[in-house]
Amino acid sequence: MTTTRRLAPVLAPVLALLIAAAPALAQPVVPEGRARARDLGVAPGVLAPGRWNAITDVAGVRVGHTTVVEGDSVRTGVTAILPHAGNLYRERVPAAVVVGNGFGKLLGSTQVGELGELETPILLTCTLCVWRAADAMVDTLLTLPGMERVRSINPLVGETNDGTLNAAIRSRPLRPEHVRAALAGAREAPVAMGSVGAGAGTVAFGWKGGIGSSSRVLTRGLGGWTVGVLVQSNFGGVLTVGGARVGEALGRHPFTRALADSARPAPPPGSADGSIVIVVATDAPLSDRNLRRLASRALLGLGRTGSYASNGSGDYVIAFSTAREVRRAFDAPRLSTTELANDGGDLSALFAAAADATEEAIYDSIFAATTVTSRGGTVQAIPLDRVREVLGRKR
């Protein structure tokens, strides 16, 4: 049996041709019994979050999930991030990609790096589903009004390898209808987190990983801009939460066995290998060059959680600006944009917001995730009571 969960569709006219939207299925931000970082008293930084504490606090940004569960083998999905509700090919946004460790597949990244702009939604999925996701999105976008003469399109698709829980990963179980559902179901609303969408089968720090999201809103004196982050966590290291070494305290990190017995160096389930994709959105009018600088600060937030970008980890950051002042019409003979100056204090505050929101989004992806079982095994959700104990000892 296939279970497809998606966010309630709020379709802009240009998206109306994507699919005939089925009745929406309500989906909580956090499943019962799970939590967000702030529920545990963990609130990185001094800047306040937005109303949903999610990437969708950046006006116009929409997120949709399709979670795919089939029998005892398929535990995967796709997550779509739309920078705005219009036609991205015709109204492009400046964007940048930063690579922390390049053990992964980020389809379409070279053109983003070359031209500094994004012309499609961003999709996240499983490693062997990247090309199927891209093909389905291209097929869908080519049917939109104004796309009749388009002969080239650059889909941006990221991945992490969920092959432990997604035991049928070799069958590449993502289908076009899953991608269409995620695109059509994307909405400007609270973001469901944990074992959903592209996070359905992921593992982080040896516990169940998934989708997490957070945001920061700058005060008026700092520019009033918003920065939002969404992560697909499937990586490892020594989990650190607000400075507390949770992974060490709970005995789950890549070096547990090696430190206990040098004759048996094989790591336990808390392996450091894996990947993470971080998507950073802002309404600040940034050029693609300054978006690259913003994206690099997200890696600082990643490091705070205990990652050291292991050899087998693919760590990628995608950043874009939704500001109308910096959008780029595909057929414009010249660009005329108004962007933040390099020496403005706003940039430093934006950098802080990106690091803090990334750190919190990663915690949310783990704390919101539920235990998942498949033919590949069972990956437990992190025990929140134990996390509270460790955090309490630190305080």
Residue-by-residue DSSP string for 176-207: HHHHHHHHHT-BSSPPP-BSSGGGTT-EETTE
* Rounded mean pLDDT, 6-23: 37
pLDDT of residue 261: 65
Q: Which of 283, 288, 315, 364 is catalytic?
A: 315
CA 277 to chain centre: 5
Mean pLDDT taken over the chain:
90
pLDDT category of residue 23 using cuts at 50, 70 and 90: very low
Q: What is the CATH topology of the domain spanning 27-387?
A: L-amino peptidase D-ALA esterase/amidase (3.60.70)
pLDDT of residue 12: 41
State the Cα–Cα distance between residues 11 and 185, nearest whole angstrom. 8
Nearest CA to 33 among 386, 384, 387?
Answer: 384
pLDDT of residue 272: 63
- Of residues 263 and 101, more confidence is placed in 101
* Residue 341, amino acid: A
- Judged against a pLDDT cut of 70, whether residue 5 lies above it is answered with no
pLDDT of residue 344: 61
Judge whether 182 and 123 are in contact, CB under 8 Å.
yes
Q: Which of 275, 310, 321, 374 is catalytic?
A: 275
Work out the number of other CB atoms within 10 angstroms of the CB of residue 43.
17
pLDDT category of residue 365 using cuts at 50, 70 and 90: very high
Torsion 293-321-281-112 (CA) sign: negative
pLDDT of residue 24: 38
Greatest Cα-to-Cα distance within the chain, rounded to the nearest angstrom: 66
DSSP 104-143: S--BTHHHHHHH-EE-S-EEEEEGGGHHHHHHHHHHHHTT
* Rounded mean pLDDT, 185-206: 97
Q: What is the pTM of this model?
A: 0.91
Cβ partners under 8 Å of residue 283, min gap 6: 58, 59, 60, 225, 226, 321, 322, 323
DSSP 33-67: T---GGGGT---SSSBP-SSSSGGGSTT-EEEEEE
CA 214 to chain centre: 10
pLDDT category of residue 25 using cuts at 50, 70 and 90: very low
Judge whether 252 and 268 are in contact, CB under 8 Å.
yes
Cβ partners under 8 Å of residue 103, min gap 6: 275, 311, 312, 313, 314
Give tens-digit pLDDT for 73-82: 999 999 999 9
* Rounded mean pLDDT, 163-179: 97
* Rounded mean pLDDT, 349-372: 98
- Strand 226-234 versus strand 211-217 pairing type: antiparallel
Weakest-pLDDT range from 8-22, 37-51, 138-152: 8-22
pLDDT of residue 259: 76
Q: Which of 313, 321, 365, 374 is catalytic?
A: 313
Can 315 be counted among the known catalytic residues?
Answer: yes
State the Cα–Cα distance between residues 271 and 253, nearest whole angstrom. 6
Name the percent of the chain lying above pLDDT 70: 89
